[in-house]
Amino acid sequence: MNILLIEDELRVADFVRRGLKAEGWVVEHAGDGETGLAIMQDRDFDVIILDLMLPGISGQQVCQKMRARANTTPVLMLTALDSTDERVAGLRVGADDYLPKPFDFDELIARIQALHRRMTGYGNEDSNGKYQHHGLIYDSAAMVLTVDGIVVDLSAKERELISILMASKNKALSRERILNSVWGTHEDPMTNVVDVYIGRLRKKLGPYGGLITTVRGAGYRFG
């Protein structure tokens, strides 16, 4: 599961990020609405967690803008106030659910899953968190990669990497974005970890290794 968290308070953001990562999910964090909107255009997410109170443009505006761009990713709004007005306003601009702060962590997780399920259409429980491309299946719930029916062991970083790659099918991802998403670092552009891991993944994908294309001067693309 790929999640975009738009939240300016670093303490909250860090707390949420940590917890969601423990669930095995990949979390991207944006400190304000503009950044969030920019990231959305580069990657597809399963759920967007959106704080209502943001510096610059408000959470509501973010929601409105992304909907205007025909982005239908489910949005879970966070707000400090438990006011019905805000809730209604949030839902009106296109949020899908709402959670008042402070919240219980389990509830956050449950709601994210509920949202995701609701949007992907429940009934087909099996398709949950599964990315498939021909004989290549990554089940993010089980954290298992299957290559032509054979289970392949992946390390934690490899799992996160293939997760964002497959979630961003047919989109080029820059090394910086991958670094930020998987390694959670903003600096240190002198490392080549991404390259190394892409190499390892390609090898583990066997016949499907070629699906990860190098976009020279830009990054990598899956699919």
Query: Which residues in this chain contact DNA in the complex, by CB under 7 A?
Result: 153, 155-158, 183, 188, 190-193, 195-199, 202-203, 214-219
Q: Segment contacting its own copies (CB under 8 A): 1-9, 45-53, 140-148, 190-198? A: 140-148
Q: Please name which of 32, 3, 31, 8 lies closest in space to residue 18, comparing C-alpha atoms.
A: 3
- 3-state SS assignment for residue 113: helix
With CB under 8 A as the contact rule, the residue among 97, 101, 130, 204 that binds its own copies is 97
Q: Residue 42 CB, nearest distance to DNA (Å)? A: 17
Q: How far apart are alpha carbons 80 and 83 in whole angstroms? A: 9
* The pair of three-digit structure tokens given for residue 16, joined into one six-digit string: 């949420």
Taken as a whole, the chain contains a residue count of 223
Q: Residue 72 CB, nearest distance to its own copies (Å)? A: 15
Q: Residue 191 CB, nearest distance to DNA (Å)? A: 4
Pairing of strands 219-222, 212-215: antiparallel
With CB under 8 A as the contact rule, the residue among 67, 174, 204, 206 that binds its own copies is 174
Contact (Cβ atoms closer than 8 angstroms) between residue 71 and residue 40? yes
Note the helical H segments in 23-96.
33-42, 59-68, 84-92
Q: Please name which of 159, 161, 211 lies closest in space to residue 181, comparing C-alpha atoms.
A: 161
- Give CA separation, 17 vs 21, 28, 131, 178, 201, in Å: 6, 8, 22, 16, 25
Q: Residue 133 CB, nearest distance to its own copies (Å)? A: 15
Contact (Cβ atoms closer than 8 angstroms) between residue 39 and residue 28? yes
Verify binding: residue 117, its own copies, rule CB under 8 A: yes
Verify binding: residue 218, its own copies, rule CB under 8 A: yes
Verify binding: residue 110, its own copies, rule CB under 8 A: yes
Verify binding: residue 172, its own copies, rule CB under 8 A: yes
Q: What are phi and psi of 122, to 5 degrees?
A: -85, 165
Verify binding: residue 61, its own copies, rule CB under 8 A: no
Verify binding: residue 22, its own copies, rule CB under 8 A: yes
With CB under 8 A as the contact rule, the residue among 186, 190, 203, 210 that binds its own copies is 186
Which of its own copies, DNA, none is residue 195 near (CB under 5 to 8 Å by kind)? DNA
Residue type, 77: M
Binding site for its own copies (CB under 8 A): 19, 22-24, 30-32, 34-35, 37-39, 41-42, 69, 97, 104-107, 110-111, 113-114, 117, 122-123, 125, 139, 141-144, 155-156, 159, 170-172, 174-177, 180, 186, 215-219, 221
